[in-house]
Structure 1
Amino acid sequence: MKQVLIVFLGGGTGSVARYLLSKWMNNPISGLPYGTFLANVLGSFLIGIILGYFYKTNTISQNTTLLLATGFCGGFTTFSTFVYESHVLLKNSDFLNFGIYALASIILGFAAVFLGMWLTKTI
């Protein structure tokens, strides 16, 4: 039960952080979801650093990993919002921005995880 509470606290914090970032950065004029995009890339980078450091040093407790990686990063990043916003772009026939948003999110998300893990190996 303690671990469920830890994930809950991290997930809630991550969700609030994503909400605030989206409110600040999403562009109501163009409809481009910059906040969600940044949350997904930044969250991917953070999980790469957290898990990379954990695997390298074995000094982060399981509870800390649950709080930061599973909870915070899981709540901060959002695949469902990414898919919904992609759907809106397609529905509005905004194929160029859909392609840019979808490809950039996937490519930069992967790159951010790998970069985070690589940085923990070199530090």
Structure 2
Amino acid sequence: MEHHPVNPLPRGAVDSDVDLRVDGRARRAHDPAILGVIAVGGALGATARYLISLGWPTPAGGFPVNTFVINIVGCGLIGILMVLVTDVFTQQRLVRPFLGTGVLGGFTTFSTYAVDIEKLVTGGHAGTGLLYLAATVVGALLAVRCTVSATRALITWRTR
């Protein structure tokens, strides 16, 4: 299957979380199994994020390193996951909702990122807020790109 150099999904792939037709059959929009694994995964991911934030608090006015690292690591893991579910584990219908939407969706926190920026700017730390804003966007995109490329290279190397 041919891949677009920037898009982590194979050409012609559909998003199984959105497409209501799979293998020509209509799929229920609210599949209880999918909703269940998303809920359990989300609880696990959010709990992990919360525990990290307790153990690694951000001082007032400081760069939110904990949220920054959580979001960069989470985006990198999403890059790995997307390659694996589109190229390797294509028949595992609950892996992506559990790990991607659930665990990693609960683990990453772009809402906290937005609140952190607002607090930094209104607290007189606009420079730190702008640095955090830019570094997170660049870091998240680089994390996804690097992990997608590395995972694809590893899969190609292992299948030779």
Which bin holds the TM-score, normalised by the shorter protein?
A: over 0.9
Task: Tell me how far apart the structure 2 counterparts of residues 21 and 114 of structure 1 sit (CA, whole Å).
Answer: 25
Identity across the alignment (%): 30
Q: Which has the higher contact order (CA 8 A, sep 6+)?
A: 1
Letter of the structure 1 residue corresponding to residue 101 of structure 2? T
Aligned match of 1:74: 105
* TM-score using structure 1 length: 0.93
Deviations 1:22-43 (A, max 9, x none): 1222322554321111110000
Aligned match of 1:2: 33
Task: Tell me how far apart the structure 2 counterparts of residues 41 and 7 of structure 1 sit (CA, whole Å).
Answer: 21
Using a 3 Å threshold, how does the CA distance of structure 1 residues 34 and 122 change in structure 2: closer, same or farther? same
RMSD value, Cα: 1.4
Q: Is the 8 A contact 1:25 1:33 kept in 2?
A: no
Aligned match of 1:111: 142
Gaps of 5+ in 2: 1-31, 155-160
Letter of the structure 2 residue corresponding to residue 101 of structure 1? Y
Q: In the TM superposition, what are the counterparts of 1:11-90 in structure 2 within 5 Å?
A: 11-28=42-59, 30-59=61-90, 61-90=92-121
Q: Secondary structure at the match of 1:86?
A: helix
How big is the shift at 1:65? 1.0
Structure 1 segments of 4+ aligned residues over 4 angstroms from their partners: none
Task: Tell me how far apart the structure 1 counterparts of residues 145 and 38 of structure 2 sit (CA, whole Å).
Answer: 24
Q: Is the 8 A contact 1:22 1:33 kept in 2?
A: no
Q: Is the 8 A contact 2:79 2:144 kept in 1?
A: yes
Name which one, 1 or 2, has greater alpha-carbon Rg: 2
Is residue 120 of structure 2 the alignment partner of residue 98 of structure 1? no
* TM-score using structure 2 length: 0.72
Question: Relative to total residues, which structure has the larger helix share, 1 or 2?
Answer: 1
Q: Is the 8 A contact 1:48 1:113 kept in 2?
A: yes
Task: Tell me how far apart the structure 2 counterparts of residues 73 and 28 of structure 1 sit (CA, whole Å).
Answer: 25
Task: Tell me how far apart the structure 1 counterparts of residues 140 and 96 of structure 2 sit (CA, whole Å).
Answer: 20
Gaps of 5+ in 1: none
